[in-house]
Structure 1
Amino acid sequence: MSTTPAPPRASLLLLAYLAFVSLGLPDGLLGVGWPSIRTDFGVPTEAVGLLLTAGTVGYLTSSVLAGFTLARVGVGALLAGSTLLAGLALTGHALSPGLAVLVGCALLLGLGSGAIDSGLNAYAASAFGPRHMNWMHAFFGLGVAIGPLIMTGALSAGLSWRWGYGIMAAAQVAVAAAFALTVRAWQRGVPASADPGAVVGASASPAVRVPIRATLRLPAVWSGALAFALYVAIEVSAGLWAFLLLTEGRGLSATVAGGCVSAYWGSLFVGRVVQGVVAERLGGTLVLRVSLAGMAVGAALIAVPGPAVLAVLGLVVVGFAAAPVFPLLTLTTADRVGAAHADRAIGLQIGAAGVGAALVPAGLGILIGNTTVQVLGSALVVLALALIGLYELGSRRPGPERAGPGGSSEPARPDQAAQVGGEGHMVSGPVRPVVDGR
């Protein structure tokens, strides 16, 4: 029996990639489409906060619940139902007669997206290595990069912003159908435990039951959640307000600015493809430190007054540097909290990411509405420095021992030991034997 992790099934890996493309597509639409939406509905710029807040409520609710109920529901059924819900919500966006309905649809979209995000991350944290984990998240960047191009193309052709959401709705429904056809395939190798406190994912190891309060007592769970909130706040704020900065603040045309926003999300995609391989070879700690420093440098370029090209360069630097942060932090969750708590911790982290993705960009919208869009760069610098401080504070603490089933510190059991991928990179997830045909 080998302790080398079995490679993920090609069909499920491809579907996971496609799911993350579809997950990112709607995020890329709002930044470019919002000026047209607010004009159609006659609402102020800061009204985007209502959409972000509604989406966050749904996202937070479903992502946290997914982490606690994944073993009971099953990852395949969860993904199929959640993707269908997201498709219906996007259809509602395209047909919405006013802001109130749009807010309701944003809530439904958040419910679907949060469960997809949490479910896939929980599965991938134990089934994928650092390369595929980064590549899966890279396809999220690809989806967000395509979104602005679709919306920009629709608006440039004289079509309504509704066309962009309609196209996205069709894509989500197609992915939902693919998930529905592969429900049983996702369940292979998942522990047949009905206990929501069991370790789930792709592992064939026996389920470990832990009380919910044991997970919630771990400081590493909450510090990790805060790190996710800060990171996603930077990623989303840059993407959401970049279009307004480049048009109203730096004088670019709407078409050029839309392309630049796509370049930002595209750099996130390229960065994850490239740095997925780098992380396997150099280890996650070094890659994370360099990436966090790069985010601060890119934010500083955006903050410096100057020509539009400087802000565009800063956006690309932020996107490329930020690329591996989310997947690597997710991948090493079990190393910080223990395998028995990993699924719940991932759900909480994804939920915290949703909070950061809504509250901070919405707050920036209010700040921009009352001052100037030029404040975006300075805000990103502050957030990037705060994230660096939080990461360094956590990394200087003594290495956490594995939390046992009761939440007490105890050495990791052999079936919960971290796997080593590449040159010493710690990969979360239980060790399992190689199975022919896996």
Structure 2
Amino acid sequence: MGFLIAVIYLIFVSLGLPDSLLGSGWPAMQAELGVPSSYAGYISMTISFMTIISALLSPRIMKKLQTKWIVILSILLTILGLVGFSVSGAYWMFFVFAVPYGLGAGAIDASINNYVANHFSGSVMNFLHCFYGVGAVISPIIMGLALKVARWNEGYRWTACIQTGILLVCILSLPLWKKNEQQNTEILSESTGIREVTKVPGVIPTLIAFFAYCAGEATCFLWTPSYFAIEKQGLRAEQIASFGSLIFGGLMLGRLISGFVSDKLGDRVLIRIGIAVELAGIVMVMLPIPHYLVSAIGFVVIGTGMGPVYPAIQHMAPENFGKRNSAAVIGLQMASAYAGSTFMPMLFGNLQQWLGIGIMPYYLLLFALLNFGLLEYSYKAIKIGEAQIR
């Protein structure tokens, strides 16, 4: 079982690797492509839109394909998207390869989260998403190195090579999935559909809360390097690219800490503590201090606070809504998450062109407060629903 957990962690490294490449490489890509800064949002939107489709289809896919095969196919699609980005010489080409790039993320994310939520503890779930942060921290470093010694294209190409290595490990690990195979098949065979679960108390506010969380998270993913490029003058291109790893480093740290304490504190307490830390980081970025260091620390703190929120919401699904509903709920959560990732960074891109990128911490504050309020409301709705059943 320990080897299988290690492979699942590696799968989440592969899931995190592509997510921060666009934000880290965009200042250089924008200059070469000759397009406005806001155009990154349209590429990001396309990737996320395809991920939404994949996530919405995931309950059906999970009934037809075992988790291990979803993993293999999804990583293959991601590799195709990365290689495609690396050879793209015109802006329109990114939209073509954004299709496999996005489709590769949704189903694997939903299926692995559902698998872990039903078979492992909250600690494993937090460590799992910590390894997502490992992948997301590595890729801005890869892009920064590529910008230093070559061009941004190499950042995508090198990442595709790493993904290929992870794919080979996953293929070799196929026999390890047999232990929980029967139980997982039974859970999924009894699972409900998407329409049915939307009627379960607490599901809708949880979905909107997830949308709000990912709106803030994805805005940080895409626009943090650009924030430093515009607000903090005199920084080198490779230094600006490396700042894309700040939020991911914070996410990794937050999930690492949560992995040790989640079983003691519980998911709801972890979320409350996390959002409080996130708000403290946002205040740090708001401070009118010219030097980049305080803002850099602030983004790490924001990421640390965000860290436990995503895995805790996912891990609560079987407990809050029942195992038979968990696959559909997690699929909807993924779709809501990527809807936030799709539209909100694009909206921010347009807003910052009119109002300046300095509005970023206020934008993040809005979604942090929405996330907190809606989750607290969902807990009350779940409690009322359980009382009515009794």
Given the two structures, how large is their TM-score scaled by the length of structure 2?
A: 0.93
Residues 288 and 212 of structure 1: is their aligned pair in 2 closer, same or farther, counting only changes over 3 Å? closer
Q: Report the structure, 1 or 2, having the larger helix content.
A: 2
Select 1:236's aligned residue among 185, 205, 218. Answer: 218
Match of 1:172 in 2: 163
In structure 2, the partner of 1:374 is 358
- Tell me by how many angstroms 1:209 deviates: 5.0
Cα deviation for residue 402 of structure 1 reads 6.7
Q: Do 1:72 and 1:193's aligned partners in 2 also have CA atoms closer than 8 Å?
A: no
Q: Provide the rounded CA distance (Å) in 1 between the counterparts of 2:202 and 2:311.
A: 17
Task: Please name the residue that 2:151 is paired with.
Answer: 160
RMSD (Å), alpha carbons: 2.1
Taking the TM superposition and a 5 Å limit, the aligned residue runs for 1:246-285 are: 246-251=228-233, 252-285=235-268
Contact 1:80 1:177 in 2 (8 A): no
Are 2:13 and 2:135, in contact at CA under 8 Å, matched by a contact in 1?
yes
Matched, 1:312 2:293: no
Q: Is the 8 A contact 1:61 1:111 kept in 2?
A: yes
CA-CA distance at 1:57 after TM superposition: 1.7
TM-superposed deviation, 1:140 = 0.7
Deviates further, 175-184 or 312-321: 175-184
Q: Which whole-Å deviations, capped at 9, do the CAs of 1:7-27 have from their partners, x for residues lacking one?
A: xx1222111111111111111
Out of 22, 29, 42, the position equivalent to 2:34 is: 42
Q: Secondary structure at the match of 1:84?
A: helix
1:364 pairs with 2:348:
yes
Are 1:72 and 2:60 counterparts? no
The answer to whether the 8 A contact 1:77-1:180 is kept is no
Letter aligned with residue 8 of structure 2: A
Maintained 8 Å contact 1:228/1:352: yes
Counterparts of residues 405-424 of structure 1 (less than 5 Å): 410=389
1:48–1:396 distance in 2 versus 1, CA, 3 Å: same
TM-score by length of 1: 0.84
In structure 2, give the amino acid aligned to 1:59: T
Counterpart Cα distance in 1 of 2:243 and 2:45: 26
In structure 2, what is the equivalent of residue 426 of structure 1?
A: none
Offset, 1:69: 2.5
1:4-50 CA distance string (max 9 Å, x none): xxxxx122211111111111111121112011112222211111122
Do the aligned partners of 1:67 and 1:122 also contact (CA within 8 Å) in 2? no
Q: 1:400 to 1:85 in 2, by over 3 A?
A: farther
Stretch moving more, 172-181 or 358-367: 172-181
Letter aligned with residue 189 of structure 1 = N
1:383 maps to amino acid = F
Mapped partners of 1:226, 1:217: distance in 2? 14
Deviation track 1:71-118 (CA, whole Å, cap 9, x = no partner) reads: 221111111011111111111011112111111111211000111111
Compute the displacement of 1:240 (Å): 1.6
Q: Of the candidates 77, 87, 94, which is equivalent to residue 95 of structure 1?
A: 87
**CA 265–193 in structure 1, closer or farther in 2 if over 3 Å, else same:** closer
Partner residue, 1:390: 374
Identify the residue that residue 43 of structure 2 maps to in structure 1.
51
1:189 to partner: Cα distance: 2.4
Q: Figure out how many residues of one structure are paired with residues of the other and give that number.
A: 388
Separation of aligned partners in 2, 1:366 and 1:114: 26
Percent identity over the alignment? 29
Consecutive unaligned residues of structure 2, counting only runs of 5 or more, are: none
Residues 136 and 245 in structure 2, CA contact (< 8 A), matched pair in contact too: yes
Deviation of 1:401 after TM superposition, in Å, equals 5.2
Alpha-carbon spacing, 1:400–1:111, altered in 2? closer, same or farther (3 Å) = farther
Deviation at 1:400, TM superposition (A): 5.7
Cα deviation per residue 1:173-213 (whole Å; 9 max; x = unaligned)? 2222332333343243234798xxx623xxxxxx5354553
Structure 1 pair 96–55 and aligned structure 2 pair: CA distance change class (3 A): same
Shift of 1:243: 0.9
8 Å CA contact 2:86, 2:156 repeated in 1: yes
Partners of 1:378 and 1:366 lie apart in 2 by 15
User: d(CA) in 2 for partners of 1:191 and 1:97?
Assistant: 47
Identify the match of residue 199 of structure 1 among 180, 187, 194: 187
> Given the alignment, which residue of 10, 13, 16 partners 2:5?
13
Asked if 2 retains the 8 angstrom alpha-carbon contact of 1:63 and 1:350, the reply is yes
Relative distance call for 1:264 and 1:183 in structure 2 (3 A) is same
The alignment status of 1:221 with 2:212, answered yes or no, reads no
In structure 2, do the counterparts of structure 1 residues 322 and 73 end up closer, same or farther at CA, with 3 Å as the change threshold?
A: same
Deviations 1:297-331 (A, max 9, x none): 21122123223222112101101111111111100
Q: 3-state SS of the aligned residue for 1:27?
A: coil
